[in-house]
């Protein structure tokens, strides 16, 4: 048995159910209880692995709610850990405090799928525009992409830098284009 497989089975015991239907078949996959999702991330980090990816799927047509997945790697070994969040409570424990790389993965999952990483330090949307209507999640099976999305008035909550000597320099497409062009000359 490999290092990450040993880590998950020794940490979670019978709470880690191996999923042999996962492809590719040379990547081990385990389904675990939602409340233990961050716990196993900590154990995997201690084992020296890194978080490669984290994503969500809408598995409501299969009666499973939302699938929450994390892929870890150590050397040439990969491991997929998955859990489920019910439709009526689309939350899961954030991995951001264990793996900094989860920061953007989880904000994107929230923006596009509407699943909420509990304990994430930044609840602002990552991709979801401020003028999208409440409850519009383009990756959900119930989202109707054949219809134009109505726009609503909204305002993005930018983080403000404050303090002595701090100032903002507006940068836009013209500025960026000038820099790129001057670098080529």
Query: Could you tell me which residue, 150 or 11, shows the higher pLDDT?
Result: 11
Strand 50-58 with 28-31, pairing: unpaired
Question: What are the b/e assignments for 73-86, b being 16+ CB within 10 Å?
Answer: bbeeebbbbbbbbe
List of residues 6+ apart from 96 with CB closer than 8 A: 102, 103, 106, 117, 119, 120, 121
Q: How far apart are CA 95 and CA 55, in angstroms?
A: 12
pLDDT on residue 29: 96
pTM score of the predicted model: 0.84
List of residues 6+ apart from 58 with CB closer than 8 A: 66, 67, 113, 139, 140, 141, 142
- Tens of pLDDT, residue by residue over 155-182, are 777 778 888 988 777 766 665 555 555 5
* Number of compact structural domains in the chain: 1
Query: If you average pLDDT over every residue of the chain, what do you get?
Result: 89
Residue 97 lies in domain: 3-184
- Tens of pLDDT, residue by residue over 77-128, are 999 999 999 999 999 999 999 999 999 999 999 999 999 999 999 988 888 6
Nearest CA to 39 out of 7, 77, 2, 67 is that of: 7
Six token digits for residue 8: 């998950």
pLDDT on residue 51: 98
The answer on pLDDT for 183 being more than 60 is no
Residue 94 sits in a domain whose CATH number is 3.30.460.80
């Amino acid at each position: 048995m490999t290092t990450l497989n040993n880590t998950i089975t020794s940490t979670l015991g019978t709470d880690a159910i191996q999923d042999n239907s996962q492809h590719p078949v040379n990547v081990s996959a385990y389904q675990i209880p939602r409340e233990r999702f961050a716990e196993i991330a900590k154990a995997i980090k201690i084992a020296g692995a890194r978080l490669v990816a984290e994503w969500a799927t809408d598995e409501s047509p299969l009666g499973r709610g939302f699938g929450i997945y994390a892929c870890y790697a150590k050397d040439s070994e990969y491991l997929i850990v998955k859990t489920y969040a019910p439709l009526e409570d689309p939350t899961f424990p954030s991995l951001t405090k264990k793996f900094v790389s989860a920061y953007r993965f989880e904000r994107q999952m929230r923006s596009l799928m509407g699943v909420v990483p509990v304990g994430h330090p930044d609840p602002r949307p990552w991709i979801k525009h401020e003028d999208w209507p409440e409850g519009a999640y383009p990756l959900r099976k119930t989202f109707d992409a054949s219809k134009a999305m109505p726009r609503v008035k909204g305002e993005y909550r930018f983080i403000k830098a404050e303090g002595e000597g701090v100032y903002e320099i507006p940068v836009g497409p013209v500025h960026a284009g000038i820099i790129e062009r001057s670098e080529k000359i």
